[in-house]
Amino acid sequence: MILVAGSANLDFVVRAGHIPAPGETVLGHSLATHPGGKGANQAVAAARAGAATTHMLLALGADAHAEPLEQSLREAGVQAHIVRCADTATGTAFICVSDDAENAITVAPGANARLAPHHLPPLDGYSHLLMQLETPLPTVIAYARAARAAGVRVVLNAAPAQALDDELLALVDILIVNEGELTSIAGAGGRVRDALDRLRVPLVVVTLGARGCCARQAQQFLLQPGFSIEPVDTTGAGDTFCGVLVAALDRGAPLASALQSACAASALACTRAGAQTAIPDNATVERWLAAQPAPGDARMAALRAACGLDN
């Protein structure tokens, strides 16, 4: 059983030819609203991955923006533990998606900033606690400390990127980051392998966009190449990866299999618009995976080189 503690936002999504530069006005094609927020996206992804009972702790305002978020969680089968903030708006995100599927996101945290240490429910029965960094950092640390004391595995998706101190990292069992987030935490750029060598977290997974992902566990590296797709919207792809990965580990899947499922679900999510609306279920992922060719030597070699593992 998984507990996701984190953010929920109503996403306002404008599609446009390109993402505006500073000071530029761009005419968009359309506006739509979608349920989102890193925490809620990951909870939906974990629930749709199958076999994992998923709960979520979140904070919402007492406003109209809260209902679509609650409905999305209910429809995905997520059991929500809601902190209701009557004097604060529900979190929102303003997203511009370009015609080549890239995005730029600005978040107004709203009620997400009110999630506090005392809101954590009892942790009996949970195997994993999955968190992100769209809620207050002291709250994230308090939850990680409580989970460690309860014997619950702490999974942190360290996004949005920021520097983290050793106190939090010492409490984390699984760290999931992209390349930019890895650089922020490790304190320097360079090769993925070199940055990973500076982190003492037992399992670190680095997502590498279309190239796939790299995991380091007990000084052993696992690589999973990405899949070829025609992207429509990359919003929520990383969140899909996180939720599916934790769901697979919760049901006892080997790490290599969990990484493959997470990469496949993330790729499929990029072929549809929206965040939670684009997250596939486990049956869809399995059917799609069965039809995919094995990665060739050239793709694996390129991934090894990108991670600094080619020598």
Domains of the chain from N-terminus onward = 2-6+37-56+123-306 (3.40.1190.20)
83-88 mean pLDDT: 95
Whether residue 297 has pLDDT greater than 90: no
What Å distances lie between residue 99 and 14, 107, 265, CA to CA? Answer: 11, 21, 22
144-171 mean pLDDT: 95
**What pLDDT does residue 186 have?**
87
Whether residue 152 has pLDDT greater than 90: yes
Give residue 100's identity as a one-letter amino acid code: D
Q: Which two tokens stand for residue 180?
A: 């930019």
Q: Is 227 exposed, middle or buried (0-12, 13-18, 19+ CB in 10 A)?
A: buried
State the average pLDDT for the chain: 93
Q: Which of 161, 186, 185, 27 is nearest to 105 (CA)?
A: 161
Give residue 248's identity as a one-letter amino acid code: A
**What pLDDT does residue 311 have?**
66
189-199 mean pLDDT: 85
Higher pLDDT, 80 or 304: 80
34-56 confidence digits (pLDDT tens)? 999 999 999 999 999 987 799 99
**What pLDDT does residue 101 have?**
81
114-127 mean pLDDT: 97
Q: Which element (helix H / strand E) includes 32?
A: strand 28-36
Angle at 254 between CA 249 and CA 259, to 5 degrees: 70
Share of the chain above pLDDT 70, in %: 99
Whether residue 63 has pLDDT greater than 90: yes
List, as one string, the DSSP characters of 70-123: HHHHHHHT-EEEEEEETTSPPEEEEEEEETTS-EEEEEE-GGGGG--GGGPPP-
**What pLDDT does residue 295 have?**
79
Cβ atoms < 10 Å from Cβ of 285 = 26
6-17 mean pLDDT: 94
Catalytic option among 194, 239, 250, 297: 239
pTM of the predicted model, to two decimals? 0.93
Whether residue 264 has pLDDT greater than 90: yes
- Is the distance from CB of 10 to CB of 69 less than 8 angstroms? yes
Give residue 39's identity as a one-letter amino acid code: G
256-270 mean pLDDT: 95
**What pLDDT does residue 83 have?**
98
Active site residue 166: no
